[in-house]
């Protein structure tokens, strides 16, 4: 991927994610976000290098499982939109978003890089 493509992708992704904050592009309710945020703090849910949420450890909570699924579905739609605008793959858009998310993760949050295992952010 060229530097120009990465720049266009970053701009398109930022626009898509900014729109997601204003509209229900991530398809999450306040309750779903609260469930996932609490699960992140407790180390049950983490962020992946693909730009998606995943379970660090198993959870039998159907509400949490539904929240993770809903948020991931919304992210997939946002990444597809950003990718179409930037002329890159949806996977590239998700990976670009993951880099932005990682930069904002608090210390102690779990992240699973591409091809790696779960790690705690220092």
| pLDDT tens for each residue of 4-14 | 555 545 545 55
Are 77 and 25 spatial neighbours (Cβ–Cβ below 8 Å)?
yes
Is residue 63 helix, strand or coil? helix
pLDDT in the model for residue 19: 45
**Strands in the chain per DSSP E:** 45-48, 53-55, 110-112, 119-120
pLDDT band at 96 (very low <50, low <70, confident <90, very high): very high
Cα separations in angstroms, 54 against 8, 71, 73, 117 = 27, 11, 12, 12
Question: Residue 52 above 60 pLDDT?
Answer: yes
| Ranges 13-27, 50-64, 94-108: which has the least confidence | 13-27
Q: What is the mean pLDDT of residues 81-105?
A: 96
- The structure's pTM equals 0.79
Residue 28 — pLDDT band, cuts 50, 70, 90?
confident
- pLDDT at position 21 is 42
């Amino acid at each position: 991927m060229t530097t120009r493509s990465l720049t266009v992708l970053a701009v398109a992704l930022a626009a898509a994610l900014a729109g997601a904050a204003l509209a229900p592009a991530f398809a999450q309710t306040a309750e779903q976000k609260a469930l996932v945020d609490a699960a992140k703090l407790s180390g049950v849910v983490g962020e992946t290098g693909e730009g998606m949420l995943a379970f660090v450890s198993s959870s039998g909570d159907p509400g949490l499982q539904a929240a993770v699924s809903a948020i991931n579905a919304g992210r997939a739609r946002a990444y597809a939109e950003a990718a179409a605008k930037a002329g890159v793959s949806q996977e590239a858009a998700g990976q670009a978003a993951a880099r932005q998310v990682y930069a904002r993760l608090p210390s102690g949050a779990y992240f699973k890089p591409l091809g790696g295992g779960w790690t705690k952010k220092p």
